[in-house]
């Protein structure tokens, strides 16, 4: 009688139905978000399956963190079943009051811990972690800039405060965070050594590393060299093992660290004048702007390991689970399936 019921618009999304192996992922039709005041609706063109997404899906976390993770994220399944912390796409709709973006603008965004980027559309505040995508970057390249980039930037600039001419050792140099750390440490003026497999030595050198150590042939903790900063992106070491290779005022950054390591970090190394840094990297909009500007200027790039359509996201998760990806695993949303 003159009233119409507006059908809810749908979109495709990869949903984690319970914790487990990659086959817990289902690509489904789910309600499309509606942009509220000050929000953008972004049509996602590319996103990534990060090591963080794979950790949430599998509930595979550093020792001691399992209980806390279930409390924070959900007991039997993640409360937010649509993962994905970074993406690039096009503004499809704007909510009331939006002034900085227009429909059709290409953007790069970092939903971060609020996730939801493994979908055709995601909503974000215009004053939040979203910036215009440089025309020189493809959607795939732009989508892979920020998970690894913000993590590395947090530890190198805000936590360890790497200074020009310092010597930095990056362990896990070929992973997504390692590739970012090598480049950002170089941009900070450091002399950088990467610890990686022989297969990825060329990649790591191409990102700016002055030297590489093959972890399968040499134990870097027994090296004669000394470093101002050691950044462990693998979780393969600890302060006791690294103390001898740290210079006075040296910092050990434990990007991957169990609960006891995190609790002990503030006390460790004090007597030797060292500092141990652990904990979760903070998400800052200014860091995002800085990283995208560096990428636009050609000084920083995302390394892409492999690319899968959304319909094959389980294979993408399996690649991340291998622990041997080099850079980021990208998901594209162009396929109609």
Which of the 8 DSSP states describes residue 271?
G
Specify the DSSP class assigned to residue 191: E
Position 196 contacts ligand NAP (CB under 6 A): yes
Compose the 27-66 pattern: x for residues touching ligand NAP by CB under 6 A, - for all others. -----------------------xxx--x-----------
Element holding 308 (H helix, E strand): strand 304-309
- Give the shortest CB-121-to-ligand NAP separation in angstroms: 25
DSSP character at residue 329: E
Near ligand NAP by CB under 6 A: residue from 117, 174, 302, 304: 174
List the one residue from 112, 172, 250, 269 that touches ligand NAP (CB under 6 A). 172
By CB under 6 A, tell whether 112 contacts ligand NAP.
no
> Binding of ligand NAP at residue 304 (CB under 6 A)?
no
**Shortest Cβ 98–ligand NAP spacing (Å):** 30
**Does residue 149 belong to the site contacting ligand NAP (CB under 6 A)?**
no
| Binding residue for ligand NAP, selected from 195, 291, 292, 313, defined by CB under 6 A | 195
> Looking at 80, 197, 272, 311, which residue binds ligand NAP (CB under 6 A)?
197
Give strand ranges (E) for 180-288. Answer: 191-196, 211-214, 227-232, 246-254, 275-278
Token duo for residue 335: 């396929």
Residue 212 within binding range of ligand NAP, rule CB under 6 A: no
Residue 283 C-beta: closest distance to ligand NAP, Å:
9
Least separation, in Å, of the C-beta of 135 and ligand NAP? 27
**Please, are residues 328 and 52 in contact by the beta-carbon 8 Å criterion?**
no
Return the residue of 91, 281, 288, 313 that touches ligand NAP, per CB under 6 A.
281
Cβ closer to ligand NAP: 102 or 158? 158
Task: Pick between residue 236 and residue 272 the one whose CB is nearest to ligand NAP.
Answer: 236
Q: Quote the CA–CA distance of 209 and 203 in Å, as a whole number.
A: 9
Stated length of the chain: 337
CB of 99 to ligand NAP, least distance (A): 32
- Per CB under 6 A, 182 contacts ligand NAP: no
Conformation bin of residue 152: beta by default, left when phi > 0, alpha when psi is -120 to 50? alpha
∠17-23-27 over CA atoms, to 5°? 60
233 near ligand NAP, rule: CB under 6 A: yes
How far, in Å, CA of 179 to CA of 56, rounded?
22
The reply on whether position 200 binds ligand NAP by CB under 6 A is yes
Q: Which two tokens stand for residue 66?
A: 């399992």
Asked whether position 256 contacts ligand NAP by CB under 6 A, the answer is yes
Report how many residues bind ligand NAP under the rule CB under 6 A: 31
Q: What is the 3-state secondary structure (H, E, C) of 259-312?
A: HHHHHHCCCCCHHHCCEEEECCCCCCHHHHHHHHHHHHCCCCCCCEEEEEEHHH
Torsion-angle region of residue 235: left (phi > 0), alpha (psi -120 to 50) or beta? left
H or E element: which one contains 56? helix 51-58
Q: Is 80 exposed, middle or buried (0-12, 13-18, 19+ CB in 10 A)?
A: middle
| Nearest-approach distance from CB 69 to ligand NAP, in angstroms | 12
CA-angle at 155, arms to 239 and 40, nearest 5°: 145
Which of residues 280, 289, 293, 297 is near ligand NAP by CB under 6 A? 280
Residues of the shown chain interacting with ligand NAP in the complex, contacts defined by CB under 6 A: 50-52, 55, 148, 151, 171-172, 174-178, 195-197, 199-200, 215, 233-234, 236, 255-256, 280-281, 320, 323-326
């Amino acid at each position: 009688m003159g009233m119409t019921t507006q059908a809810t618009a749908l979109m495709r999304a990869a949903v984690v139905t319970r914790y487990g192996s990659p086959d817990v992922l289902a690509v489904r039709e789910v309600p499309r978000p509606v942009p509220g005041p000050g929000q953008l609706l972004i049509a996602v063109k590319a996103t990534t399956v990060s090591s963080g997404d794979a950790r949430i899906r599998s509930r595979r976390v550093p020792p001691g963190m399992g209980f806390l993770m279930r409390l924070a994220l959900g007991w039997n399944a993640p409360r937010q079943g649509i993962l994905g912390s970074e993406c690039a796409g096009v503004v499809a709709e704007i909510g009331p009051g939006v002034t900085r973006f227009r429909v059709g603008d290409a953007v790069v965004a970092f939903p971060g811990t609020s996730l939801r980027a493994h979908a055709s559309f995601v909503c974000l505040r215009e004053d939040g972690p979203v910036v215009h995508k440089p025309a020189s970057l493809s959607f795939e390249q732009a989508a892979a800039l920020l998970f690894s980039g913000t993590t590395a930037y947090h530890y190198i600039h805000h936590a360890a405060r790497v200074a020009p001419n310092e010597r930095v050792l990056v362990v896990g140099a070929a992973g997504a965070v390692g590739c970012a750390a090598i480049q950002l440490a170089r941009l900070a003026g450091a002399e950088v050594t990467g610890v990686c497999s022989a297969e990825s030595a060329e990649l790591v050198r191409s990102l700016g590393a002055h030297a590489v150590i093959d972890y399968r042939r040499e134990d870097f903790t027994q090296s004669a060299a000394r470093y101002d900063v050691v950044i462990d992106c693998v979780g393969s070491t600890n302060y006791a093992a690294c103390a001898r290779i740290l210079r006075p005022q040296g910092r050990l950054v434990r990007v991957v660290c169990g609960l006891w390591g995190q609790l002990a970090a503030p006390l460790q190394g004090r007597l030797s004048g060292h500092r141990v840094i652990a904990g979760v990297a903070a998400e800052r909009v200014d860091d995002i702007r800085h990283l995208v500007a560096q990428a636009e200027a050609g000084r920083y790039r995302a390394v892409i390991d492999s690319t899968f359509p959304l319909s094959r996201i389980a294979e993408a998760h399996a690649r991340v689970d291998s622990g041997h990806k080099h850079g980021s695993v990208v998901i594209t949303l162009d396929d109609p399936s």
